[in-house]
């Protein structure tokens, strides 16, 4: 088997695994997509896909990473949560990473609710903040998946169709 083919298979595995990882917990989805696309560009000596395209893909990766942490907190804020709940949702999102899928789903919710309750707000307000954090988490996951597909699309357009992306 030719060495280039092995590199292409590894790049494809990283991209596919990354796309799956945007939905599944404990996998760095969008960074894996970026790594696969970077490897694919390297295989061809960055010929069709230049450093400008790679820089754009890197910025999209950073945006997706930022969304991962901010989405829950912004969702809580949209439903009237206090700044305390905003930070509680962010802390809950980080701690939730250590507890698999239940932690990822419930971490921001628990963080926002706990922060609101510890700040003296009622159960209704705390529940609303938690719901906002959960909705934000779901929308953040959808946004990460969309960003990952946009990244793949930009790469394919530039690499295989030769169109400036």
Q: What is the mean pLDDT for each group of 10 consecutive residues in the chain (165 residues)?
A: 88 95 79 97 90 95 88 83 87 86 87 93 91 88 94 93 68
Distances (CA, A) of 125 to 74, 116, 129, 139, 153: 16, 7, 6, 21, 42
pLDDT at 59: 98
* Contact between residue 54 and residue 30 where contact means Cβ atoms under 8 Å apart: no
* Contact between residue 136 and residue 112 where contact means Cβ atoms under 8 Å apart: no
- Give me the residue spans of the domains in the chain: 3-160
pLDDT at 155: 95
pLDDT at 26: 59
pLDDT at 31: 96
pLDDT at 140: 87
Cα(9)–Cα(165) distance, integer angstroms: 24
pLDDT at 90: 84
pTM equals 0.80
> HSE of 86 in the Cβ direction (CA atoms, 13 Å)?
9
Q: At what angle do helices 83-96 and 51-78 cross, to 10 degrees?
A: 120
Selection from 157, 140, 163 nearest residue 22 by Cα: 140
Cα(32)–Cα(30) distance, integer angstroms: 5
């Amino acid at each position: 088997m030719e060495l280039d083919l092995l590199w292409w298979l590894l790049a494809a595995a990283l991209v596919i695994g990354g796309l799956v990882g945007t939905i599944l917990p404990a996998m760095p989805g969008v960074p894996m997509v970026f790594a696969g696309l970077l490897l694919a560009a390297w295989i061809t000596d960055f010929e069709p896909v230049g450093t400008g395209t790679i820089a754009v893909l890197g910025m999209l990766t950073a945006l997706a990473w930022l969304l991962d942490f901010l989405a829950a907190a912004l969702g809580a804020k949209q439903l009237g949560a206090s700044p305390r709940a905003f930070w509680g949702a962010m802390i809950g999102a980080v701690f939730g990473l250590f507890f698999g899928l239940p932690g990822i789903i419930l971490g921001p919710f628990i963080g926002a609710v706990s922060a609101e309750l510890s700040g003296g707000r009622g159960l209704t307000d705390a529940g609303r903040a938690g719901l906002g954090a959960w909705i934000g988490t779901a929308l953040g996951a959808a946004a990460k998946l969309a960003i990952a597909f946009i990244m793949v699309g930009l790469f394919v357009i530039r690499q295989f169709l030769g169109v400036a992306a």
